[in-house]
Structure 1
Amino acid sequence: MTTKSATTPTLKPGQARPRAAIAAKTLRTDRWWLAPLLTVIGLGAWVTYATVRVFMHKWYWVDAYHYLTPFYSPCVTDRCVEQASHFGRFLPGWWIIPDAALTLPFLLLFRLTCYYYRKAYYRSFWLSPPACAVPDGHQTYSGETRFPLLGQNLHRYFFYAAAIISLINTWDAVLAFHSPKGFGFGLGNIILLVNVIMLWAYTISCHSCRHIIGGRLKHFSKHPVRYRAWSFVSKLNVRHMQLAWITLGTLALTDFYVMAVAAEWIPDLRFIN
């Protein structure tokens, strides 16, 4: 026969057990702060680099091989090189206006409202919360029910814009095979292609894309094609976090390579022409 401890309070039916009186904010002894810290460093470094490059207004186009960095695609200001302006130059070339002003805001909003990136910057920059079993850095919490976080629900619409931008980047990669000397193939083409493939993988692995393809179907057996597409996207969706970081890396690498070749810091390694 068991007996109750003298220190255990007797609970009435339906009464909740009181919380333990723990003075420490968290009992975690592992390095729970490392992941948020690395996220701050990683995202902060990328945003700094991207901001500087976007407003440099130079070294974005390699005329000899038709390389165009994704940070300047499509180039639509009257400051752009004519050969790099595949969709015309219809915006004024003021310094404050990025040369890719037509697409950069949508790409930024797509990434900001991404389900993974929300988790990343909520935990790292806002400490809301910084980790599991660690208290929130704010006294009050309203979720995504107020402005500006209410706009997170527009993510599904930014997905369509991101898909169109991925098409534009794909077109840029295809055009890069046709230089003034005719068909050409170099290291820059490989970098552009890898970047485009990774961008497509990240874009279609989005939760909104998965829902669009098969989220509202009641009978997969009646839609075998959409079921196969949904299964493929679901496999990519599991890697959405990794793809989010990989694409940040491929974007920076592609831009830096195009900049280095355009500035004549390094020559492009050519295999054909």
Structure 2
Amino acid sequence: MSTVEAPAKARAKIKERTLRRDNWRVYPITTLVAFTAWVAYATVRAFWGSAFYVPEYHYLTPFYSPCVNEICGEAAEFGTFLPASTRGWIPFAAVSLPFLLLFRLTCYYYRKAYYRSYWASPPACAVAEPHKRYTGERRFPLIGQNLHRYFWLAAVVISLINTWDVIRAFRGEDGGFGVGLGTLILLVNLILLWAYTLSCHSCRHIVGGRLKHFSKHPVRYWMWQQVSRMNQRHGQYALITLGSLVVTDLYIALVASGTISDLRIFN
């Protein structure tokens, strides 16, 4: 009795780059423009070296926290080690900015964003990429993406420092308790930054990972559920915090430079 072998299944040969009919180019193009604009603004402000602090109300922009340059003055809550001569070529927040940058660069959402927008790898789902081969995140430099969980720990520490900055911003003109528009802007930005940090996949794993039985760990299970709910909006928090950082920094810069006055709500 003879058997008939099924014909070998070969991959379909499609000449078109993609069969998608929607405007798939919108996401990578808009992301490219938005990210480039944000990076340009953040870079200029990080090296600006002025209009970053309002001593009357202790408004310190997150781009300069913690401030470790001799010029920081009263804003240097945690000491200084950068001489004034480094102004203009080393950011005043040289301690935090590298870790925050690495935390965002290795974030799952940002990987998707710049892989598609800057590297076109791929530019969209079901769209052929221009690269001939893909080695994944197994070789330098992309193997560094695996350090994201450690950068997350650094981001938590920096978020605690930002929390202290906001607490200090509840200051009135006489040195007592006070609330201004700048205080509220800093507070909202802090809440959004914490939401972005705590909704991270690494946080979700740290809270509920390596557990065989959730029933034996009810507290960690509850925490894992809360982080999982936040994790669904992690990409939204990633984008929103870019905007909140710019708004916060711009407002403090305008007040610190004397362009506008802080709107005081109490004292």
Q: Identify the TM-score tier after normalising by the shorter chain.
A: over 0.9
Q: Secondary structure at the match of 1:96?
A: coil
Partner of 1:199: 193
- Work out the CA distance in 2 between the residues paired with 1:178 and 1:271: 11
User: 6, 10, 31: which is aligned to 1:39?
Assistant: 31
Partner of 1:272: 266
How do 1:12-91 and structure 2 match up within 5 A?
A: 12-13=5-6, 15-80=7-72, 82-91=73-82
Task: State, as a whole percentage, how many aligned pairs show the same letter.
Answer: 62
Change (3 A) 1:16 1:196: farther
2:206 matches 1:215? no
The question of whether the paired residues in 1 share the 8 Å contact of 2:172 and 2:179 is answered with: no
Question: Letter of the aligned partner of 1:223 in structure 2?
Answer: H
Q: Secondary structure at the match of 1:271?
A: strand
The question of whether the paired residues in 1 share the 8 Å contact of 2:172 and 2:266 is answered with: no
What TM-score comes out, normalization by structure 1 length? 0.93
Partner of 2:83: 92
Cα offset for 1:215? 1.5
Question: Letter of the aligned partner of 2:197 in structure 1?
Answer: T
User: 108, 126, 131: which is aligned to 2:124?
Assistant: 131
How do 1:231-250 and structure 2 match up within 5 A?
A: 231-250=225-244
Question: Letter of the aligned partner of 2:134 in structure 1?
Answer: Y
Partner of 1:187: 181
Cα offset for 1:19? 3.0
- Work out the CA distance in 2 between the residues paired with 1:12 and 1:100: 68
The question of whether the paired residues in 2 share the 8 Å contact of 1:61 and 1:262 is answered with: yes
1:202-257 deviation line (CA, Å, top 9, x unaligned):
00100000000001111111111111110000000000000000111111110000
- Work out the CA distance in 1 between the residues paired with 2:256 and 2:223: 40
Question: Letter of the aligned partner of 1:231 in structure 2?
Answer: Q
2:154 matches 1:168? no
- Work out the CA distance in 1 between the residues paired with 2:132 and 2:71: 48
Larger radius of gyration: 1
- Work out the CA distance in 2 between the residues paired with 1:253 and 1:16: 59
- Work out the CA distance in 2 between the residues paired with 1:115 and 1:166: 19
- Work out the CA distance in 2 between the residues paired with 1:148 and 1:79: 36
1:6-43 deviation line (CA, Å, top 9, x unaligned):
xxxxx934x54223332221121210011000110111
Question: Letter of the aligned partner of 1:178 in structure 2?
Answer: R
Structure 1: stretches of 5+ with no match in the other structure? 1-10
Over the aligned positions, Cα root-mean-square deviation in angstroms equals 1.2
Cα offset for 1:179? 4.2
Q: Secondary structure at the match of 2:11?
A: coil
Cα offset for 1:271? 0.9
User: 100, 103, 119: which is aligned to 1:110?
Assistant: 103
The question of whether the paired residues in 2 share the 8 Å contact of 1:166 and 1:200 is answered with: yes
Q: Secondary structure at the match of 1:165?
A: helix
Question: Letter of the aligned partner of 2:81 in structure 1?
Answer: F
Matched positions, count: 261
What TM-score comes out, normalization by structure 2 length? 0.95
Change (3 A) 1:16 1:236: farther
Cα offset for 1:78? 1.3
User: 99, 114, 117: which is aligned to 1:121?
Assistant: 114
- Work out the CA distance in 1 between the residues paired with 2:118 and 2:91: 26
- Work out the CA distance in 1 between the residues paired with 2:113 and 2:231: 16
Change (3 A) 1:261 1:23: same
Question: Letter of the aligned partner of 1:91 in structure 2?
Answer: L
- Work out the CA distance in 1 between the residues paired with 2:158 and 2:192: 13
Cα offset for 1:178? 2.5
Question: Letter of the aligned partner of 2:71 in structure 1?
Answer: R
